Structure 1
Amino acid sequence: MRFSPLFLGLVAAATLQTGHANNFIDDSNVTLTARNYFFDRDYKQGDSFPAARDWAQGFIFKANSGYTPGVIGFGLDLQAFAGFNLLGDSTDGYAASGLLPVGKDLKRTDQYGEVRWTAKAKIQDSTLHVGTLTPMFPVLFSSPARLFQQNYRGAHLQFNEIDNLKLHALYTDRVNQRDSTNFEKIRLGNTNSRFDQAAESSGLHMLGADYKVNDQINTQVYHADLHDVFQQNFLGVKTKHDVGIGNLLSDIRLFVSNDSGEALAGDIENQHLSGLIGLQRGNQTFSVGYMQSFGDTAMPTLAGTEPAVMLDCMSADFTNKDEKVYHVRYDYDFKDTPLNGLKFMTRYSKGVDIDLPQFGRDDFEQDAWDVDLSYRVPTGTLEGLGVRTRFTHYRNEMPATGMAFRSDNETRVNIDYTWKFK
């Protein structure tokens, strides 16, 4: 996995010269995405920084081949990224947002870039990918929440030979964080010093299955082990049933986590249950949800990503020890209207009974009100243009010093345009 892009290019060229690579080219696709991203997290508690603030322009190039003919088909995917700081030195005095690499002097890099590759093979409908991976699984989630998506280095085997069933086996030993160009060892996230330390691991392996019972019920079962740190099991069920007045939706997720091997981060023992029930009627969906964390510690997650619970708040993760979370949400999709392509979401979440042993209290509270408005041009000359604006009003009563999440008003705006080439 350390071959240079030049070497891989030569291999691809040699493959093309065999005269047996029609599918390799015919099934290929190339895209270029220009992403403009503004991030402003305005802190409302006493803090050494008034805000975390950045504005960046990114370019994401992806070239995915098809597969060569034969019993085993081979292919190659390439990705190239380039990011530029649009605020220059005006970000001095502000905390890093995760959009751009930051030096030891806390100054942003003016520009940065990287090239990543993934070799792939296919037998019947099953695939093997080796190289750069962007897994989107409950126990291994590549965060897409900044200018560039977090990615991992490893191998992923996906078995697709049984109808409605997908089996996954994955191993990774390094992670490339959202604001970095370097692969580093995978670490446990240690938000608010929840564990003894943010231990790093030699690698992570994952096994999982997605099974579609029928058009109304989908299930997931996953297991991951961050070697010598923690292991995590996941069970998820999503349903959708027509109840006459609309569709009744549900999303139930259970994570069970324990320390693993040498327990380099200390004791970990957590069970996290989350559930969402909603009614979808026409273009509207109204949902209510509840989450609760059980066990001796908070829910463990990997550094640099978000937990794959049913609530995805921008300014906090709501997965503290013993925390109970109440949640209401409203969505409106403007499909089949003159504003087709526009989507609106708002939600309110309240977390109570938060136990932070390092601060000597078990009754902290936090709450967040989120608004998300997005528009993607559905057809015409500007098809591929998307605009998304997000705002959150987040408050907690926890001490500001040493806390990863502090009371803030946060605004994110990103404008994407994707060109597709064939």
Structure 2
Amino acid sequence: MKKTSLWVWVYFCPLFSALAHADFVKDSSAELTLRNFYFDRDYKQDPYPYTAARDWAQGIIFNGQSGYTDGTVGFGVDVLAMAGFNLIGDRADDYARSSLLPVNTDNSRDNYYGKIGLTAKAKFKKNELFVGDLVPRLPTIFSSPARLFPQTYRGARFVSNEIPKLQLESFYVDQVRQRDSIHYRDVGTDNINRRFDQSATTDYFYSFGGAYQLNEAYRIRAYQAELHDIYQQQFLGFNGKQPLNEQLTFLSDVRFFNSQEVGKEKIGNVDNQHLSGMFGLNYQNHTLSLGYMQSFGSTGLPFLSGTESPVVLDFMSSDYSNKDEKVYSLRYEYDFKNVKLADISLNGLRFMTRYAKGQDIDLLNYGDKRFKEESMELDLAYKIPEGKLKGLGMRARFSHYRNDMPTDMVFHSANETRLNIDYSFKF
């Protein structure tokens, strides 16, 4: 039986069973999101043929989730449908791809595109099985929310909450539909900044592990993952919010990845141990955090293609995950809750700025020479908290990123602007 035929059968067998029972409708929910996204990465050094990566698009995202049928084993189905529209027109043809819109072989963008995913699900006590389109949020496999649409993976997910305070979770996926694509492709990894011998795809990826809530403040997580014939990876992390007194809270997030080549070694040698941590203090509306990351081993950190690096410091214009790289970061946030300006409440308004510097970067093919990168980012977001326009959000982000790497690397010095207007409502 062909792989595609097998997946279709697995999708729809539980689905037809669910539709035979009307009770699964009573606990259903649906959310519609309208997302307007402008992306502008203006290069400040001489990269390949394009002076910028620039797109403007309107997205529509429908997320429908059924309840479960009655019985010992309940069945249901989820639907994720997405449609994107090109608002910048033919002008986008002069710019590099931004992952907002599909790009044709001649670098043109279509006027619109759409995709739909179905997920059959079953529930037994506190155990759930999902088969179909998946949007994972694990450190080892993560669907990026940083563009118009997230990635979706084709596969199976199992979640168990039988043991108090412990959530066990596993994924098996064989194909991915990237953020700006309507087509499924084999899972794989990219060769960012030539950290490995080459990029490669493979037959499947799996990950399993769990998260344990130690107490009200702290959680620990541990996962094992393998991208078949490419790399295996172990993850260990903890994070939490510990109140120190009535007004002061200590924040922490520490992540460790250990990665090695496996099987046929399709991208060559993989040898990386990556440690990242962020520690902060929250006082009333203010949060100040310090972060540090360091990469050990003979290669950079591997992760699935099309996503962001799963480390604790997530920046707009670079992943800061090169071989031997040491990264220092400072972050400040202000939440305008309970703040008024001329009797106008500013609840829902948030401001963030952060700075990072990465140094001692080994690009492998340049002898003993070491490189550096740094960025400064600003983020201003407002989401209407109540009233008729509740669910309407606006966000503006800016990044000033510079590096001294050769221009044939993936990341280039750039000024980057992202503007979002999202409106979500449930029905």
- Whether TM-score is above 0.5 comes out as yes
CA distance in 2 between counterparts of 1:87 and 1:241 reads 46
Q: Write out aligned runs for 1:4-403 (5 A).
A: 15-16=18-19, 18=20, 20-22=21-23, 24-47=24-47, 48-244=49-245, 246-337=248-339, 338-400=345-407, 402-403=408-409
CA distance in 2 between counterparts of 1:342 and 1:242 reads 24
CA 1:72–1:10: 2 relative to 1, 3 Å? closer
**How much has 1:32 moved relative to structure 2?**
1.3
Instruction: Answer whether contact 1:21 1:69 (CA < 8 A) is retained.
Output: no
Structure 2 unaligned residues grouped into runs of 5+: 340-344
Instruction: Answer whether contact 2:44 2:412 (CA < 8 A) is retained.
Output: yes
CA distance in 2 between counterparts of 1:301 and 1:15 reads 36
Corresponding residue SS for 1:92: helix
Q: In structure 1, give the amino acid aligned to 2:323.
A: K
Query: 1:54-104: per-residue Cα shift (whole Å, max 9, x none)?
Result: 000111112110000110000000111111100111112111111000011
CA distance in 2 between counterparts of 1:343 and 1:69 reads 43
Structure 1 unaligned residues grouped into runs of 5+: none
Q: In structure 2, give the amino acid aligned to 1:340.
A: N
Q: Tell me which residue corresponds to 2:425.
A: 419
Q: In structure 1, give the amino acid aligned to 2:211.
A: D
RMSD across aligned positions (CA):
1.9
CA 1:161–1:108: 2 relative to 1, 3 Å? same
CA distance in 2 between counterparts of 1:280 and 1:314 reads 24
Corresponding residue SS for 1:356: coil
Q: In structure 2, give the amino acid aligned to 1:261.
A: G
Query: 1:316-351: per-residue Cα shift (whole Å, max 9, x none)?
Result: 000000000000000111223321111111000000
Q: In structure 1, give the amino acid aligned to 2:321.
A: T
Corresponding residue SS for 1:137: coil
CA distance in 2 between counterparts of 1:323 and 1:12 reads 48
**How much has 1:109 moved relative to structure 2?**
1.6
CA distance in 1 between counterparts of 2:13 and 2:297 reads 53
**How much has 1:362 moved relative to structure 2?**
3.7
**How much has 1:222 moved relative to structure 2?**
0.6
TM-score with structure 1 setting the length: 0.95
**How much has 1:163 moved relative to structure 2?**
1.0
Instruction: Answer whether contact 2:14 2:122 (CA < 8 A) is retained.
Output: no
Q: In structure 2, give the amino acid aligned to 1:403.
A: M
**How much has 1:8 moved relative to structure 2?**
7.5
Instruction: Answer whether contact 1:253 1:309 (CA < 8 A) is retained.
Output: yes
Q: In structure 1, give the amino acid aligned to 2:280.
A: G
Q: Which runs of 4+ in 1 moved over 6 A?
A: 7-11
Instruction: Answer whether contact 2:12 2:120 (CA < 8 A) is retained.
Output: no
**How much has 1:361 moved relative to structure 2?**
4.6
TM-score with structure 2 setting the length: 0.94
CA 1:250–1:103: 2 relative to 1, 3 Å? same
**How much has 1:371 moved relative to structure 2?**
0.8
Instruction: Answer whether contact 1:225 1:231 (CA < 8 A) is retained.
Output: yes
Corresponding residue SS for 2:376: strand
CA distance in 2 between counterparts of 1:298 and 1:3 reads 36
Instruction: Answer whether contact 1:234 1:254 (CA < 8 A) is retained.
Output: yes
CA distance in 1 between counterparts of 2:375 and 2:145 reads 21
CA distance in 1 between counterparts of 2:309 and 2:125 reads 34
Corresponding residue SS for 1:181: coil
CA distance in 2 between counterparts of 1:230 and 1:121 reads 31
CA 1:78–1:390: 2 relative to 1, 3 Å? same
Q: Tell me which residue corresponds to 2:410.
A: 404
Identity of aligned residues (%): 51
**How much has 1:15 moved relative to structure 2?**
4.2
Instruction: Answer whether contact 2:294 2:325 (CA < 8 A) is retained.
Output: yes
**How much has 1:216 moved relative to structure 2?**
1.2
Q: Tell me which residue corresponds to 2:342.
A: none
Count residues in correspondence: 417
Instruction: Answer whether contact 2:195 2:363 (CA < 8 A) is retained.
Output: yes
Instruction: Answer whether contact 1:241 1:249 (CA < 8 A) is retained.
Output: yes
CA distance in 1 between counterparts of 2:383 and 2:16 reads 37
CA distance in 2 between counterparts of 1:366 and 1:91 reads 28
Corresponding residue SS for 1:192: helix
Instruction: Answer whether contact 2:122 2:129 (CA < 8 A) is retained.
Output: yes
